[in-house]
Amino acid sequence: MSTGSSTSVVDSGEPAKDFTAPVTTDAAPETVFDALTTPAAFAHWWVPASGGGMPGEELVIHFGETRAIFRVKEAMPASRVCWEVLTCEIEHDWDGTEISFTLAPIPDGGTRIDFRHLGLTPQLGCFEMCQSGWTQALGGLLNYIEGSNTAGE
């Protein structure tokens, strides 16, 4: 089992660049997909969640006493997951942004995850805090999918 890599990539030469973070894991794309579409699994790698993880469903993310409501735009098995942020009580800069995970199998096994938070740019006051938070969450995702390989159970 590898520890994966969770490197944030932000091109400071382009001030409007969205936050992206490519990561790799030894876990299969199906395992990653399950961890991203099963609300019960979220507490194992990010924060508690409820609702649904399939297209058209609302996914409610619980940040302590506050919450964020996402609409699942895409959930293509072992390929792509995309959420539209309808509202985020803890950080209103997220309202109307889009969060996506594009999954690609690695030839020798494992998955490349291209994470993007469309609309989360360095111009936003929350950018540094959110960049740090996403980096931590992606690390948690890697630990969960590589450590248990039971996403969705």
Query: What is the residue extent of each domain of the chain?
Result: 17-147
Are the C-beta atoms of 122 and 130 separated by less than 8 Å? no
The share of the chain scoring above pLDDT 70, in percent, equals 86
| Residue length of the chain | 153
Which residues of the chain, if any, have pLDDT below 70?
1-16, 148-153
Are the C-beta atoms of 19 and 123 separated by less than 8 Å? no
pLDDT at 153: 42
Which pTM does this prediction carry? Answer: 0.86
The share of the chain scoring above pLDDT 90, in percent, equals 83
What lies within 8 Å, CB to CB, of 143 at 6+ separation is 45
pLDDT at 63: 93
Architecture, CATH, for domain 17-147:
2-Layer Sandwich (3.30)
Question: Any bridge partners for residue 69, and if so which?
Answer: 60, 87
